[in-house]
Amino acid sequence: MLRWVLLCALVVCGSAKAQTNYEMRYMVAFDTLAHYLNVSLDYRQTDGGDELVLNMPLWAPGYYEMLNFPKHLCDFAATDLQGQGLVWKKEGLNRWRISLPSDKRARVTWRVYANQRDVASSRVESQVAFVAPAGVFMYVDGQTQHPVTVTFDVPSCWQHISSGLMPHQEDAHTFTVKDFDTLYDSPLLLGNHYVSHFTHEGHPYEFALETPDGAEEIGLERDFKKIVSAATQLMGDVPYDNYCLIHMGEGGGGLEHLNSQACYTDGNYRFNSRAAHVKFLAFVAHEYFHLYNVKCIRPAELWPIDYDHEAITPMLWVSEGLTCYYEFRLLQYAGITMTDEALELLSTYFRLYAPYEGQRHMSLRQSSYDIWLNFMNQDDNAREVRVNYYFKGPVIGLLLDIDIRRKTQQQRSLDDVMRLLYNRFYKQWQRGFTEEEFWAAVEEVAGQPMTDIRTLVDTTADIDYDSYLHEAGLWVDTTNWSIRRVEHPDKRQRKFLQAMKLE
């Protein structure tokens, strides 16, 4: 077993509930046959009360569903350092209260069943493990802003540990993290996966690919660099020191993180069509742009994070829907897609909501508010009574972008709104934005009221697409809900198309 690495000094942690000096050191071992993570916490306290209260999150940021992570936990136990059992009891779904011995030191252990193929859950197999930290590690109740050290005791045949976290220089298996928010936002891929390191525009990157077949042939690194450069030029900044792209085998979904993305793929990178390849790159661009839009530009309700309760906000159509719109924008700015390919990406979103009755029963704003009920709701009537902000959101993003360009004679765009939100709320004020602050920012950029476009977000009003698209040289073919360019654009329309890189 790898040696423990101690924090070099005690850290004073202040919280609303207590002010306590303590250390937390985790060890994680892997049961590759039975698919378990064996977790051990060494806790040392130098002052404070006689109890230790530990919490495990009930959800993971970016995954808007109560996942109830403790349902995968078993064999919880607490002892002193001599192995004598300590009295403990569980409270509610995710809290454990432990009576500390006189020296205020405890060893707490549990096992986590890790055998799910989704981006918010851990998975342990013979050659690889994906660790989603929110469902593995506990924090002291009310004190997520405390540092923690984690060491991984990996099988001797495993070669790599990949993460946005940086390991200790003297021990590549150990990580000291400044707080639990950072830990929970830093998944890890451990095992015998493919690893590639490179530097781009002054920042180090790591590719960690569980099933890399075809990645080099399609030029994944080349296209990823183009996406990064396009986002940097768009936003004028890079919000991380290093970045890790974690792609796993066949499975579902992707999840953005502080300086990484964790995605499942089709099991290889050999796409059967150019359209499938473009769709995949849009997926990568989506998770990457979340670095700006949700990790930095975030609704006020999403920060600070309450891991016990839903973070209900009417603004996820901005966080997710506009990020879907910027899939299209980034690939265009990066020079990866042809115009028809880019319009097909947007057309896909039209087709997923516009033909369905749900848009008459639920507004885009309400879909954001109710996502905690509907994130994985597969009721047969879903499209008839609900809309999905992943689908309608990017369409509104397109209309909003066009409307700002029209109102400012092409001097400003939605890009300027995103930069304003990033620089003002994230960099200058270091907080999230409210709903009214978002619309105030849009109107500040547009220089005019945005009542009409806000009505399309807040209500189920019918959308006159032509009133927005025609001036931009576009139209919607409602026979198959495709966005097309007008056949013979006039001078004004051509100026729009050129500004939006659609000609």
Looking at residue 20, what is its pLDDT?
Answer: 64
Looking at residue 374, what is its pLDDT?
Answer: 94
The CA distance from 276 to 266, in Å, is: 11
Query: What percent of the chain stands above pLDDT 90?
Result: 94
Looking at residue 187, what is its pLDDT?
Answer: 98
How does 380-411 read in b/e, with b if 16+ C-beta sit within 10 Å? Answer: eeebeebbbbbbbbbbbbbbbbbbbbbbeeee
Residue-wise pLDDT tens digits, 405-414:
999 999 999 9
The CA distance from 243 to 259, in Å, is: 5
Query: Domains plus CATH for the chain?
Result: 23-189 (2.60.40.3650), 193-273 (3.30.2010), 292-499 (1.10.390.10)
pLDDT band at 376 (very low <50, low <70, confident <90, very high): confident
Taking residues 73-96, what's their average pLDDT? Answer: 98
| 3-state secondary structure string across 297-310 | ECEHHHCCCCCCCC
pLDDT band at 251 (very low <50, low <70, confident <90, very high): confident
Looking at residue 211, what is its pLDDT?
Answer: 98
Q: Which of 149, 142, 108 is nearest to 308 (CA)?
A: 142
Q: What is the DSSP string of 4-61?
A: P---SS-EEEE-SS-EEEEEEEEEEEEETTTTEEEEEEEEEESSS-SEEEEE--SSBT
Looking at residue 11, what is its pLDDT?
Answer: 35
SS3 of residue 123 by DSSP: strand
- Radius of gyration of the chain measured on its C-alpha atoms: 24
Tokens coding 34: 């039975």
Residue-wise pLDDT tens digits, 6-53:
333 333 333 344 446 999 999 999 999 999 999 999 999 998 899 999
CA distances, 451 to each of 25, 412, 445 (Å): 53, 18, 14
Residue 231 scores a pLDDT above 70: yes
Taking residues 128-137, what's their average pLDDT? Answer: 98
Looking at residue 252, what is its pLDDT?
Answer: 79
Residue 93 scores a pLDDT above 90: yes
Query: What percent of the chain stands above pLDDT 70?
Result: 96
Cβ proximity of 349 and 240 under 8 Å: no
